[in-house]
């Protein structure tokens, strides 16, 4: 809240009974605030506190799931520092996040705006864009491998028709991550739904007023739509970062856990998973998890801090 | 005159873009349905045949016999409905509290809420499992349902954003009228956040419907299994039964498509505050 | 008034939820009491078998229950078991509530035994007269760790090179005289390959495709991967390095990225390039036979052992499954009866007969006629000289690292010597912890 210059005289002039009422009112708000949040506070304590603290503890041990292991202090963290595959997985994940997150926001917002037009048949279009998110990962993985097959896949077939020789996509070290980014953009249906809900909350009145002032589509977008969408853009940005850094199921299914070609698709959580469930190094995996936490937290903090500049909440 | 032609041109342009984009977005779904109607040896032919010749409807019948389809369906429906109910009941009120009410520790708790999403589930999975074991809930579907009633951070964050977009003036006006906090929430704020709450319901429905690792860990009797577990049974050492698998996948997506189709009208419904000032 | 109504509704919902929870807790505690009904012992058996193999094990269970009327097998299909993905079994064992019997990838027995998570079966075996010489030597060895027995083998396989007879005849190669040496293999591959620009119409051979894991080639070249006496990995054994160098050279000659298009499929089923005629030779196991019958029955093919540099000492390696008793199982004796049956002659005959996976008992393979089938015969006859992957605590890590080394070597990211030394160091570091 903006700070008000303290004006002693004004407080002194407020009659005592009103002041007491204010304090009482504040206390009431505190009470309700905590009451309403109570289910989640309990949920945090029961379902999150124990697993989270356990995993921090595990990161300092040689816990293997089957054995409690021994306490080894920061050894896991030190070993990670020297683990080349760890750094490769960091690189792969960052690469993916840097390209995917901005693209998904740009395409997501653009798509949502188009789908928000009041035109007949829009319901069908919206359903179409949402469909890919419903296809099970196993099916998606196989489908894409088939589509991107350099020899007889549809994509290279189409490129061939316009005279371009397509790369080996999932078989190429350079093109495997871009292929994955492409495949992941398929799934922006969920984010688009959120943008649509956000667009739905923008009152028609504003647009009507702008029409009266003679604003065109572009001006309306820049001055009304985008600013009022910022709360959801903010949400999708934060969740996008979290999701991108935790990318697991699709590349794991695609490469059957191997991260081929040449570990170019070995993502952070994939390596974490292997350590925890395949190599009996859950302690090591826990250390990886908490390092990831710090990285994501740092990025999110930056987003939060800058959010005061660009996020506009209607309510305020 | 000029204005309307411009409008028509931009409209048609948007339509063209939409149609082209739709084509790309439809591909996975068309492939899935098309494969579900093919015999196994035609699944990966080149050039791709989008329309199966002949159309093998038997895949659907075979799939339903290959696994206890209706049992799995029933289980999936029950688990999904209850967990969705839980999410829709708990998350809005918690989110509202974060967005509109002031109380000590609120901001720190909110940061923690987002923070817990940053730890990959793979490392918290085991301690959580052990916790449920101590509670005697392993071997039941309850671990898949109960946590939803306590709130899920993703939706709490989402709904908080929505509530923050609602004007404080509404609350102040209601207070002057003498309304209590709960009434303000229930009768004024919550209805205004309907698009977001419905989105939450849809997402939780999808998440629970397709959840694999949860049922894998907590359901121990095949009588309790869900469809996502059943899907795995089509994969064997000698190669997957793609036709049958896609048949089940298609059947799994139909309810969600229907749900989405009907819900989406409420997403775009505009709201006006003109009556309130 | 209205306010009360809303509060009332909320309370109602909370109450409903609480009762759900309480109902759940109480009903579960009663069902987790021993599953003994009418004096029978119930043995829980977790497995991931589907399709034909699933039918086979069901028959084994039926026969077993007939022979042992006082034992009931509760078979539960468990997705993701074996080949390193054992989330459910891992959590169950760590929670102290494992199944009595688990269908287990034999390769993983060493690492689980080292963690103390499998029951030691040595004494039970001795008392029941189950001995090593009943099985192929590698099967028993792979199921043992540190001198003790931890599982009973139930199935196995081996690897040979499949080749397309029609392609051979087309380019003038004699299908009755397939390559015996590496040099002959390379020459054949060259003749069979048809490449237009950077697009392959047909590839003769891809050493690392299918079952072309480095283990196979390393052994073919005469190298060793593990020294059991010193408990150290020896991935940089000069012969293994030689094998990897050969693969890297091959990759360079044919341009690995152009090959990648063929190696990137989920590898099974009708999408397999060997079945589509785009690959002339491929290293694979006996299961390929039923796949070919299913997807391309008119394929004219044969098999030959993996070539070696000298043309002699042809060998292979075998994997397979087993049944184990996880630590903490409640019904050990009854579980052991099932293990004995499944792994014994009678159970093996039923299982292998339906699943068409090889038995671990040579006489059963003979009885089932595998030695008469011209193709399967080759797979069975090489079993006595087959290797098994090293029994060690870091089996999965070693496997992953070797696979990565092959990936990197074929793409020119480092020399085979460097890469394999890195693998050796990494694995040994973990072994010594």
Q: A269 and chain C: CB distance < 8 Å anywhere?
A: no
Residue C303: in which H helix or E strand, if any? strand C301-304
Distance from CA of A261 to the nearest CA of C (A): 7
Same domain, B225 and B112: yes
Whether residue B277 is contained in a domain is answered as no
Whether residue C420 is contained in a domain is answered as yes
Distance from CA of A67 to the nearest CA of B (A): 13
Q: Give which of B125, B130, B122 is closest to A289, Cα–Cα.
A: B122
Q: Give which of A247, A267, A249 is closest to A88, Cα–Cα.
A: A267
Q: What is the pLDDT of residue C13?
A: 53
Mean pLDDT: which of A6-20, A129-143, C9-23, C84-98 is highest?
A: C84-98
Same domain, B45 and B141: no
Q: Can you give the C-alpha Rg of chain C in angstroms?
A: 25
Chains interfacing with A (3 or more CB pairs < 8 Å): B, C
How many domains does chain A fold into? 2
Same domain, C358 and C280: no
How many domains does chain C fold into? 2
In order of A67, A192, C138, C430, the CA distances from A64 in angstroms are 5, 41, 28, 13
Separation CA A51–CA A233 (nearest Å): 31
Whether residue A2 is contained in a domain is answered as no
Domain containing B94: what range? Answer: 66-269
Q: Is residue C159 pLDDT above 90, yes or no?
A: yes
Enter the tokens of residue C274: 């060997």
Same domain, A32 and A158: no
Q: What is the pLDDT of residue A148?
A: 83
Backbone torsions φ then ψ of A308, nearest 5 degrees: -60, -25
Measured torsion, CA atoms of residues A268, A271, A274, A277, in degrees rounded to the nearest 10: -40
Same domain, C208 and C250: yes
Same domain, C283 and C369: no
Q: What is the pLDDT of residue B271?
A: 38
Q: What is the pLDDT of residue C190?
A: 93
Q: What percent of chain A has pLDDT over 70?
A: 94
Q: Give which of B35, B187, C286, C79 is closest to A147, Cα–Cα.
A: B35
At a CB cut-off of 8 Å and minimum separation 6, what does A105 contact?
A191, A233, A236, A237, A240
Helix axes A282-310, B106-115, angle to 10 degrees: 130
Strand pairing category for C41-47 and C71-77: parallel
DSSP label at residue C118: B
Same domain, B16 and B86: no
Q: What is the pLDDT of residues A277-292, one digit of tens each?
A: 989 999 999 999 999 9
Chain B interface mutation, best of C9, C92, C155, C269, highest count of B Cβ atoms under 10 Å: C269
| Chain C residues within an 8 Å CB radius of B239 | 268-270, 291, 294-295
Q: B40 and chain C: CB distance < 8 Å anywhere?
A: yes
Q: How many other C-beta atoms are found inside a 10 Å radius of the C-beta of residue A206?
A: 16
Verify whether the Cβ–Cβ distance A197 to B267 is below 8 Å.
yes
Write out the DSSP string of B12-79.
HHHHHHHHHHHHHHHHHHHHHHHHHTS-GGGTT-SS--SS-SS--THHHHHHHHHTTHHHHHHHHHHH
Contact C185/C249 with Cβ under 8 angstroms?
A: no
Same domain, B85 and B154: yes
Q: Is residue C11 pLDDT above 60, yes or no?
A: no
Separation CA A104–CA A102 (nearest Å): 5
Q: What is the pLDDT of residue A124?
A: 85
Same domain, B146 and B21: no
Same domain, A195 and A142: yes
pLDDT tier, C174 (very low <50, low <70, confident <90, very high otherwise) = very high
Q: Quick one: closest CA in A to B167, which residue?
A: A315
Same domain, B152 and B251: yes
Distance from CA of B171 to the nearest CA of C (A): 16
| Chain A residues within an 8 Å CB radius of C400 | 258, 274, 278-279
Contact A93/A268 with Cβ under 8 angstroms?
A: yes
Q: C298 and chain B: CB distance < 8 Å anywhere?
A: no
Please give the residue that has the higher pLDDT: either C182 or A253: C182
Distance from CA of C275 to the nearest CA of B (A): 11
CATH code (residue C87): 3.40.190.10
pLDDT string in tens for chain B (277-residue length) = 566 776 777 777 878 888 888 888 888 888 888 888 988 777 776 666 778 777 888 889 988 888 888 999 999 999 999 999 999 999 999 999 999 999 999 999 999 999 999 999 998 989 999 999 999 999 999 999 999 999 999 999 999 988 888 888 888 888 888 888 888 888 888 888 888 898 899 999 999 998 998 999 999 888 999 998 888 888 765 567 788 888 988 888 888 888 888 877 766 554 333 323 2
Verify whether the Cβ–Cβ distance B123 to A285 is below 8 Å.
yes
Q: Is residue A162 pLDDT above 50, yes or no?
A: yes
Q: What is the pLDDT of residues A28-73, one digit of tens each?
A: 888 899 999 999 999 999 999 999 999 999 999 999 888 888 999 9
Strand pairing category for C232-233 and C160-164: unpaired
Same domain, C167 and C61: no
Place of tokens 């700070």: A3
At a CB cut-off of 8 Å and minimum separation 6, what does A244 contact?
A93, A96, A97, A100, A101
Same domain, C133 and C265: no
pLDDT tier, C51 (very low <50, low <70, confident <90, very high otherwise) = confident
Residue B199 is nearest to which of A117, A193, A202, comparing CB atoms? A193
Residue B258: in which H helix or E strand, if any? helix B242-267
Strand pairing category for C194-196 and C160-164: unpaired
Enter the tokens of residue C236: 């940089």
Q: C87 and chain B: CB distance < 8 Å anywhere?
A: yes
| Chain A residues within an 8 Å CB radius of B163 | 315
Domain containing C49: what range? Answer: 29-157+319-385
In order of A210, B10, B112, C237, the CA distances from C410 in angstroms are 62, 52, 46, 18
Same domain, A300 and A251: yes
Separation CA B67–CA B233 (nearest Å): 8
Contact C384/C136 with Cβ under 8 angstroms?
A: yes
- Kindly report which listed range (A139-153, C255-269, C374-388) carries the lowest average pLDDT score: C255-269
For C164, the 3-state DSSP assignment is strand
pTM, 2 dp: 0.87
Verify whether the Cβ–Cβ distance C2 to B240 is below 8 Å.
no
Q: What percent of chain C has pLDDT over 90?
A: 65
Distance from CA of C244 to the nearest CA of B (A): 28
Same domain, A29 and A168: no
Please give the residue that has the higher pLDDT: either A122 or A74: A74
Contact B155/B203 with Cβ under 8 angstroms?
A: yes
Same domain, B34 and B154: no
Separation CA A286–CA A275 (nearest Å): 9
Helix axes B153-164, A226-245, angle to 10 degrees: 170
Separation CA A255–CA A234 (nearest Å): 32
Same domain, C369 and C406: no
Side-chain half-sphere CA neighbours of A174 within 13 A: 4
Same domain, C309 and C324: no
Domain containing A221: what range? Answer: 75-310
Enter the tokens of residue B172: 């102040």
Side-chain half-sphere CA neighbours of B134 within 13 A: 8
Residue C76 is nearest to which of B133, B221, B240, comparing CB atoms? B221
Same domain, C203 and C273: yes
Whether residue B80 is contained in a domain is answered as yes
Q: What is the pLDDT of residues A78-111, one digit of tens each?
A: 999 999 999 999 999 999 999 999 999 999 998 8
Distance from CA of A88 to the nearest CA of C (A): 12
Whether residue C5 is contained in a domain is answered as no
Q: A105 and chain C: CB distance < 8 Å anywhere?
A: no
Whether residue B152 is contained in a domain is answered as yes
CATH code (residue B143): 1.10.3720.10
How many domains does chain B fold into? 2
Same domain, B255 and B188: yes
Verify whether the Cβ–Cβ distance B236 to C50 is below 8 Å.
yes
Mean pLDDT of C404-421: 93
- The 10 Å CB-count burial string (b at 16+, else e) for C322-350 is bbbbbbbbbbbebbbbbbbbbbbeebbbb
Q: Is residue C60 pLDDT above 60, yes or no?
A: yes
Same domain, C75 and C122: yes
Distance from CA of B97 to the nearest CA of A (A): 5
Separation CA A201–CA B196 (nearest Å): 9
Same domain, C263 and C129: no
- Kindly report which listed range (A10-14, C104-108, C282-286) carries the lowest average pLDDT score: A10-14
Mean pLDDT of A122-137: 84
pLDDT tier, C10 (very low <50, low <70, confident <90, very high otherwise) = low
Same domain, C101 and C132: yes
Contact A264/C264 with Cβ under 8 angstroms?
A: no
Whether residue A94 is contained in a domain is answered as yes
Separation CA A231–CA A226 (nearest Å): 10
Same domain, B70 and B56: no
CATH code (residue A179): 1.10.3720.10
Separation CA B152–CA B155 (nearest Å): 6
Enter the tokens of residue A123: 């319901």
Q: A219 and chain B: CB distance < 8 Å anywhere?
A: no
For C74, the 3-state DSSP assignment is strand
Same domain, A26 and A162: no
Q: Quick one: closest CA in B to A131, which residue?
A: B29
Q: Count of H helices and E strands in chain A?
A: 16, 0
Cβ-in-10-Å burial (0-12, 13-18, 19+) of C175 comes to: middle
Q: What is the pLDDT of residue A235?
A: 92
Q: What is the pLDDT of residues C192-208, one digit of tens each?
A: 999 887 777 888 999 99
Residue C261 is nearest to which of A67, A151, A262, comparing CB atoms? A151
Same domain, B125 and B185: yes
Q: What is the pLDDT of residue C18?
A: 55
Separation CA A67–CA A280 (nearest Å): 9
Residue pairs spanning A and B at CB distance below 8 A: 275
Same domain, B38 and B82: no
Residue C265 is nearest to which of A145, A172, A261, comparing CB atoms? A145
Whether residue B252 is contained in a domain is answered as yes
Q: What percent of chain C has pLDDT over 70?
A: 88
Whether residue B247 is contained in a domain is answered as yes
Whether residue A142 is contained in a domain is answered as yes
Whether residue A10 is contained in a domain is answered as no
Cβ-in-10-Å burial (0-12, 13-18, 19+) of A286 comes to: buried
At a CB cut-off of 8 Å and minimum separation 6, what does A211 contact?
none
| Chain C residues within an 8 Å CB radius of B191 | none
Same domain, A195 and A306: yes
Mean pLDDT of C360-385: 91
For B241, the 3-state DSSP assignment is coil
Q: Quick one: closest CA in B to A107, which residue?
A: B21
Contact C294/C171 with Cβ under 8 angstroms?
A: no
Chains interfacing with C (3 or more CB pairs < 8 Å): A, B
Distance from CA of C176 to the nearest CA of A (A): 32
Same domain, C146 and C293: no
Which residue, of B14, B30, B60, is where some domain finishes?
A: B60
Whether residue A202 is contained in a domain is answered as yes
Same domain, A45 and A81: no
Same domain, B21 and B158: no
Whether residue A248 is contained in a domain is answered as yes
Whether residue B276 is contained in a domain is answered as no
- Average confidence score pLDDT of chain C: 87
Helix locations, C32-131, DSSP H: 51-67, 87-94, 109-114, 122-128
Q: How many other C-beta atoms are found inside a 10 Å radius of the C-beta of residue B164?
A: 20
In order of A125, B60, B238, the CA distances from B242 in angstroms are 28, 12, 12
Separation CA C364–CA C348 (nearest Å): 7
Separation CA B55–CA B59 (nearest Å): 10
- Average confidence score pLDDT of chain A: 86
Which residue, of B42, B60, B78, is where some domain finishes?
A: B60
Q: B170 and chain C: CB distance < 8 Å anywhere?
A: no
Q: What is the ipTM of this complex?
A: 0.86
Enter the tokens of residue C244: 């990897």
Separation CA B205–CA B210 (nearest Å): 9
């Amino acid at each position: 809240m903006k700070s008000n210059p303290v004006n002693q005289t004004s407080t002194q002039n407020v009659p005592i009974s009103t002041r007491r009422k204010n304090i009482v009112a504040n206390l009431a708000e505190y009470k309700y605030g905590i009451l309403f949040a109570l289910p989640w506070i309990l949920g945090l304590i029961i379902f999150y506190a124990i697993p989270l603290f356990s995993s921090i503890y595990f990161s300092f041990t040689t816990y293997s799931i089957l054995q409690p292991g021994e306490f080894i202090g920061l050894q896991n963290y030190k070993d990670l520092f020297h683990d080349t595959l760890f750094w490769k997985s960091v690189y792969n994940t960052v690469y993916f996040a840097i390209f995917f997150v901005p693209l998904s926001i740009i395409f997501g917002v653009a798509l949502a705006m188009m789908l928000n037009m009041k035109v007949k048949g829009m319901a069908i279009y919206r359903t179409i864009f949402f469909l890919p998110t419903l296809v099970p990962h196993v099916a998606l993985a196989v489908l894409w491998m088939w589509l991107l097959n350099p020899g007889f896949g549809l994509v290279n077939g189409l490129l061939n028709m316009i005279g371009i020789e397509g790369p080996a996509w999932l078989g190429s070290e350079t093109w495997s991550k871009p292929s994955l980014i492409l495949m992941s953009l398929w799934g922006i249906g969920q984010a688009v739904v959120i943008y649509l809900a956000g667009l739905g909350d923008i009152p028609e009145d504003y647009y009507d007023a702008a029409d009266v002032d003679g604003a065109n589509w572009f001006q309306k977008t820049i001055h009304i739509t985008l600013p009022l969408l910022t709360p959801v853009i903010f949400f999708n940005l934060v969740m996008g970062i979290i999701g991108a850094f935790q990318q697991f199921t699709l590349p794991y299914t695609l490469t059957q856990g191997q991260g081929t070609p040449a570990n170019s698709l070995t993502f952070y959580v994939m390596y974490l998973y292997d350590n925890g469930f395949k190599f009996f190094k859950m302690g090591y995996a826990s250390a990886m998890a908490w390092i990831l936490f710090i990285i994501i937290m740092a990025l999110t903090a930056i987003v939060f801090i800058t959010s005061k500049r660009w996020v506009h909440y209607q309510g305020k | 005159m000029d204005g309307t032609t411009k409008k028509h041109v931009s409209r048609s342009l948007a339509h063209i873009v939409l149609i082209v984009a739709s084509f790309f977005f439809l591909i996975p779904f068309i492939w899935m349905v098309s494969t579900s109607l093919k015999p196994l040896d035609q699944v990966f032919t080149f050039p791709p045949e989008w329309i199966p010749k002949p159309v093998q409807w038997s895949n659907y019948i075979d799939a339903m016999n290959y696994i206890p389809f209706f049992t799995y369906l029933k289980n999936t429906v029950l688990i999904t409905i209850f967990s969705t109910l839980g999410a829709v009941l708990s998350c809005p009120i918690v989110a509202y509290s974060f967005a509109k009410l002031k109380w000590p520790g609120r901001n720190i708790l909110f940061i923690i809420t987002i923070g817990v999403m940053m730890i990959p589930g793979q490392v918290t999975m085991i301690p959580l499992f052990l916790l449920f074991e101590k509670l005697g809930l392993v071997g039941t579907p309850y671990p898949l349902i109960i946590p939803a009633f306590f709130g899920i951070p993703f939706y709490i964050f989402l709904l908080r954003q929505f509530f923050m977009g609602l004007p404080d003036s509404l609350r102040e006006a209601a207070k002057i009228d003498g309304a209590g906090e709960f009434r303000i929430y229930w009768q004024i704020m919550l209805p205004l956040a309907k698009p977001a709450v419905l989105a939450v319901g849809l997402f939780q429905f999808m998440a629970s419907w397709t959840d694999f690792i949860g049922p894998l860990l907590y359901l121990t009797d095949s009588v309790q299994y869900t469809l996502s577990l059943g899907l795995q049974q089509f994969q064997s050492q000698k190669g997957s039964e793609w036709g049958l698998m896609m048949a089940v996948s298609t059947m799994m997506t139909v309810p969600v498509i229907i749900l989405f189709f009907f819900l989406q009208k409420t997403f775009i419904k505009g709201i006006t505050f003109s009556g309130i000032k | 008034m209205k306010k009360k109504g809303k509060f009332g509704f909320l309370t109602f919902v909370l109450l409903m939820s609480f009762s759900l929870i309480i109902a759940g807790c109480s009903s579960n505690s009663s069902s987790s009491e021993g599953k003994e009904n009418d004096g029978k012992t119930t043995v829980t058996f977790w497995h991931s078998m589907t399709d034909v193999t699933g039918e086979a094990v069901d028959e084994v269970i039926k026969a077993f229950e007939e022979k042992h009327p006082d034992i009931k097998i509760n078979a539960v299909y468990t997705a993701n078991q074996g080949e390193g993905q054992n989330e459910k079994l891992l959590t169950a064992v760590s929670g102290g509530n494992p199944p009595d019997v688990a269908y287990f990838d034999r390769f993983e027995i060493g690492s689980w035994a080292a963690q103390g998570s499998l029951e030691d079966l040595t004494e039970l075996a001795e008392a029941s007269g189950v001995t090593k010489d009943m099985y192929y030597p590698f099967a028993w060895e792979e199921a043992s760790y540190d001198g003790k027995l931890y599982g009973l083998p139930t199935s196995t396989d081996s690897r040979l090179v499949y080749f397309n007879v029609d392609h051979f005849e087309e380019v003038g190669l004699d299908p009755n005289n397939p390559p015996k040496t590496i040099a002959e293999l390379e020459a054949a591959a060259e003749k069979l390959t048809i490449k237009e620009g950077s697009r392959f119409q047909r590839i003769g051979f891809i050493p690392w495709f299918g079952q072309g894991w480095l283990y196979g080639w390393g052994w073919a070249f005469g190298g060793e991967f593990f020294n059991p006496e010193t408990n150290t990995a020896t991935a940089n054994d000069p012969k293994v390095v030689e094998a990897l160098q050969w693969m890297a050279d091959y990759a360079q000659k044919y341009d690995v990225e152009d090959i990648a298009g063929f190696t990137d499929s989920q590898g099974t089923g009708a999408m397999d390039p060997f079945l589509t005629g785009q690959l002339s030779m491929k290293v694979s196991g006996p299961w390929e036979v039923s796949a070919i019958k299913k997807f391309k029955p008119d394929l004219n093919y044969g098999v030959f052992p993996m070539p070696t540099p000298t043309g002699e000492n042809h060998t292979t390696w075998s994997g397979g499954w087993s049944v184990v008793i996880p630590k903490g199982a409640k019904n050990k004796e009854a579980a052991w009866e099932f293990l004995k049956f499944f792994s014994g002659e009678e159970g093996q005959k039923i299982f292998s007969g339906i699943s068409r996976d090889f038995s671990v008992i040579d006489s059963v393979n003979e009885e089932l006629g595998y030695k008469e089938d011209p193709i399967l015969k080759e797979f069975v006859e090489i079993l006595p000289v087959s290797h098994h992957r090293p029994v060690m605590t870091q089996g999965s890590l070693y496997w992953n690292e070797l696979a990565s080394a092959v990936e990197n070597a074929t793409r020119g990211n480092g020399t085979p010597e460097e890469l394999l030394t890195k693998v050796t160091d990494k694995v040994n570091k973990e072994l010594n912890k």
